[in-house]
Structure 1
Amino acid sequence: MPIDFTPQDWKRTRETYRKWWAGELDRPLFYAAIGGKDPGRAEAKVPNMGRTARYPFSISAEDVVDRWDYDLSCRKYVGDGFPSVWLDFGPGVLAAFLGAQTGVDENTVWFHPAEEREIPDIHFSLDLQHPWLQRIESLIRAAQKRWGSQVQLGMTDMGGNLDILSTFRPSEKLLLDLYDHPDEVKRLTWEAHEMWWKAFDHLNRVLQPVNPGYTAWVPIFSEMPYYMLQCDFCYMIGTGMFDEFVKPELAATCKKLAHPFYHLDGPGQLAHLDSLLAIPGLRGVQWIPGAGAAPPRAWPEVYRKIRDAGKLMQVVGDLDDLRIVIEALGDGKGIYWSGGVGRDKEHELMKFLEKYGAA
């Protein structure tokens, strides 16, 4: 049969995630799916091209959605999983809406300024007619026409504010600007903040109220506005500069969002963890050790610190990583995990879910 997820399934999903956000769920959340299900329909004529930005505009929004429909129909949703699609136009796509040039290849999307300017000469304005923004809107409308409220559509990855700045002012120059032009950096940070929220609100007006709820590039379902915030640029700065240039804007965004999470990417960002955890509105942290670092199971002290601060967390990695982290913490409360397996691993996954009452 086609996408196998009923209104009753959505009711259960809403109730479970609502309890998790409220700290009332005494087990982990498992966003899980098993591939290899009979889709009950013919394969789409458009191949799966991965990142949404890779589908050329010559392919209609309806045909892209039909490809997604086929892929979603091949999955069995288990645990706390649900059918979802992420509108993936690359990390930091807000830069495109602010005038950056775009590029797409098989592996990545990149953004760069039409011309390099000195920081006092950079100003931001949002182009609501940008072709990529229009494409995102057309995909949303085609998906809603096809599915109604059956499939959750995830917000595109608009990026972190200093990451957006570094698109228009290359990182090595932006680092010097922190010393030479601190007021200009702060001005642009708040200009980017304003544009970020204009784009976020604009797209949510298209997504809601048909969308079941809110998700982002990480599908942690929420009935209220949620986003996975980030600042990859802060890997290159110390704690003092983080507190001066990054934290105020993050705190302001956390105050506006009902359920903000933070993407803590790599050991170089651990220096900022204490400061992040002190932001009252921040609800949780996604810790990703990154390439070349020890696996998630090797960082129990990071997860303990997050829990001791009263925050939720996402544990990345496989089921063994998750099991070891749960054992280190004593229980799985407040943890989110996402993953998918083929039919050959179905028994292993279901046994794990049964252990925690999520089957």
Structure 2
Amino acid sequence: MRISETPAFTTDLKPDMEDAERRWLAFWNHEIIDRPLCAITAPRDGVEAIASPPYLSGYEGNHQQVAERALAAAQTMFWGGEAIPCYSPSFGPDLYAVWLGCDLKFGEASTATSWAVPSVEDWETAGAIELDPANAWWQQTLAFCRVLADTFDGHLLVAHMDQHSNMDTLLAMRGGVGLCTDLMDVPELIDRAMAQVQSTYAPIDMALREAGRMVGACGRIPAYHPDRTNTIQCDFAALIGPEHFRRWALPALEEEAAHLRRCLMHYDGPEMLIHLDDVCAIPGLECIQWQPGARNGPFMDWLDLIQRIQAKGLAVHVPCNTEDIRIYHRELDPALVYYRCTAPNQAEAEATLDWLVDNT
């Protein structure tokens, strides 16, 4: 475990940052100090709440305006326990494919989403998949991260972005029907495409870290490490069986986890569960963020699965409020849980942390 006199990141919004960093390091080692990891947020006492910028903010180039609003919003929040003051920029879920050459389209304002326009008709004739440093969306992303880093200095971390890399990038570039067909018809071309996409992962990751001055790192799911972390995922894996997963998705996820050194995985929907044993064996993957999906019942209904993941030695990310956390605490291993909790006010947030100490 890293031992330091001062935390890698200091902020005027969290005077207990040194203690929080110590607890995060214990979490990554599957240890506890006197309670489970709990990142709890609430409205800050004595100030009027300011809403954080909406999803996709900044894509129009108004970077400074968005940065100032994100900072103002963070200053009205209580960052309790292991909650790290941070803000994650995003122009949408398909941005990785856009950096590699796809066009980016935005929906109506009411939908608050964007998507990549598929650019590959045939992998045989498609050009090499590579990052053009002059790509307009790549340059805007870096510029946005730099503005955020300058504005947030001493206050907030720039958290990493929503990155759909590996097979999710191929999905965005080719489209779902085309990619599923290609896995059967031209698997050797998928081998080549995946190798090209994966060769971009580390350079893209490190360039974003440099632009956002991510010394002390929060991933897209806001887990903290003083060195490096992020969230990995492969939503496309829900559409493929174990053979294809092990050929393409699993090696890519293993490469990403090795680069990050420790990470969480966003795990989206019951269709993904066929791959759970393989996923839980990925070196460097320490925590699963299970997302059941709206059609599959509330998170609380999946306690058996959460306990099954813990039994494999991995931690679980548990979204909760101050009432639910007491139920989960009775059922889950406190050394293998990341509670991401919301409280109605600062006093209740602090009382919840005290309760966890008293009941662990």
Under TM normalisation by the shorter chain, which class is it? 0.7 to 0.9
Amino acid at match of 2:187: P
Tell me the residue number matched to 2:73. Answer: 71
Matched, 1:100 2:108: no
Task: Give the aligned partner of residue 191 of structure 1.
Answer: 196
Letter in 1 for 2:100: L
Q: How many residues align?
A: 343
Map of 2:286 onto structure 1: 283
* TM-fit CA distance, 1:277: 1.0
- Which of the numbers 35, 38, 45 marks the counterpart of 2:43? 35
How many angstroms does 1:175 deviate by?
0.8
* Matching of residue 90 in structure 1 with residue 88 in structure 2: no
Give the letter for the 2:177 counterpart: E
Alpha-carbon shift at residue 37 of structure 1 (Å): 4.4
**SS of alignment partner, residue 26 of structure 2:** helix
Counterpart Cα distance in 2 of 1:264 and 1:48: 26
For 1:251 and 1:212, locate their aligned partners in 2 and report how far apart those are by CA, in whole Å.
Answer: 23
Unpaired runs of 5+ residues, structure 2, are 1-10
| Contact 2:96/2:165, CA 8 A, preserved across alignment | no
Measured in 1, the distance between the counterparts of 2:284 and 2:53 equals 37
Q: Give the AA of the match of 1:90.
A: G
The one of 17, 22, 25 equivalent to 1:10 is 17
Q: CA RMSD in A?
A: 2.4
Cα deviation, 1:243-267, whole Å, max 9, x if unaligned, reads 1221111112222221122111111
Q: Name the amino acid aligned to 2:199.
A: E
CA 195–327 in structure 1, closer or farther in 2 if over 3 Å, else same: same
How far, CA to CA, are the matches of 1:257 and 1:247 in structure 2? Answer: 15
Match of 1:117 in 2: 121
The answer for unaligned runs of 5 or more in structure 1 is none
Deviation, structure 1 residue 319 = 4.2
Counterpart-to-counterpart distance in 2, 1:67 and 1:247: 39
- Please, what TM-score do these two structures have when normalized by structure 2? 0.87
Structure 2 distance, partners of 1:35, 1:245, is 44
CA distance in 2, matches of 1:322, 1:267: 23
| Mapped contact 2:145–2:208 kept (Cα < 8 A) | no
Instruction: Pick one of 224, 233, 236 that aligns with 1:233.
Output: 236
User: In the alignment, residue 103 of structure 1 is paired with which amino acid?
Assistant: K
SS in 1 for 2:284: coil
Work out the CA distance in 2 between the residues paired with 1:299 and 1:98: 37
Q: Is the 8 A contact 1:227 1:260 kept in 2?
A: yes
Partner-residue secondary structure (3-state), 1:226: coil
Map 1:148-163; keep pairs closer than 5 Å. 148-163=153-168
- Which ranges of 4 or more aligned residues in structure 1 deviate by more than 4 Å? 36-41
Match of 1:80 in 2: 82
Q: Which residue of 2 aligns with 1:172?
A: 177
TM-aligned CA distance change 1:213 to 1:37, over 3 Å = same
* TM-superposed deviation, 1:321: 4.3
Q: In the alignment, is residue 244 of structure 1 matched against residue 240 of structure 2?
A: no
Give the drift of 1:53: 4.1
User: What letter corresponds to residue 16 of structure 1 in structure 2?
Assistant: R
Q: What secondary structure, in the 3-state scheme, does the structure 2 residue paired with 1:338 have?
A: strand
Query: Are residues 129 and 315 of structure 1, via their aligned partners in 2, closer, same or farther at CA, if it must alter by over 3 Å?
Result: same
Instruction: Tell me how far 1:270 sits from its aligned partner.
Output: 0.8
Q: Which residue of 2 aligns with 1:56?
A: 60
Of 274-283 and 137-146, deviating more is 137-146
Q: Distance in 2 between matches of 1:333 and 1:196?
A: 31
Identity rate, percent: 24
